[in-house]
Amino acid sequence: MDSSKDHRSLQQKTAREMIWTSSHSFHGWTCSQCEWNSSLPTLLNDPEAKTAYDRLAAAKFRDHKCADHLSRLGSADDADSFTPRIRKLVQQGFKPKDAVELFLQEIALEYRNQPKVLAQAKADGEDFLRRVRAGLI
Ligand SMILES: [Zn+2]
């Protein structure tokens, strides 16, 4: 018997996604299927250090079993997170770089008097592109 040919576990692995969540209370990676998460230090500014943390989170994500965690109720806490909006544009066919630019233009219109929100959006956009370059997403 070849245990590597377990179709069921393969399906489970491909069905879930690692999702970046950024809110006032939490910065880090979450699972689309369960409450697993891996938080990132918010004071981390060095892009290479961030990528190292991302890779670590990706490895932990691969190893976790959704069954060991509570299942996620509804979608991740998207209210304060911009990354899902960028992902949506990419899914619509935009190149990541164009998607981030378009996204920042939209945010600039929506939050024109909120420099803090704009700064957060810009940081999220830069993080998104860095992760694309690192091959993480
Ligand atoms: Zn999970």
Q: How far apart are CA 39 and CA 92, in angstroms?
A: 28
For the cut 60, the answer to whether the pLDDT of residue 77 exceeds it is no
CA of 121 to the centre of ligand 1 (A): 26
Q: How far apart are CA 27 and CA 18, in angstroms?
A: 13
Provide the residue ranges of all domains of the chain, joining segments of one domain with +: 16-78, 82-137
- pTM (two decimals): 0.66
CA of 112 to the centre of ligand 1 (A): 37
CA of 32 to the centre of ligand 1 (A): 7
DSSP character at residue 6: -
CA of 60 to the centre of ligand 1 (A): 10
Work out the mean pLDDT of the chain and round it to a whole number. 84
Q: How far apart are CA 49 and CA 39, in angstroms?
A: 14
CA of 109 to the centre of ligand 1 (A): 35
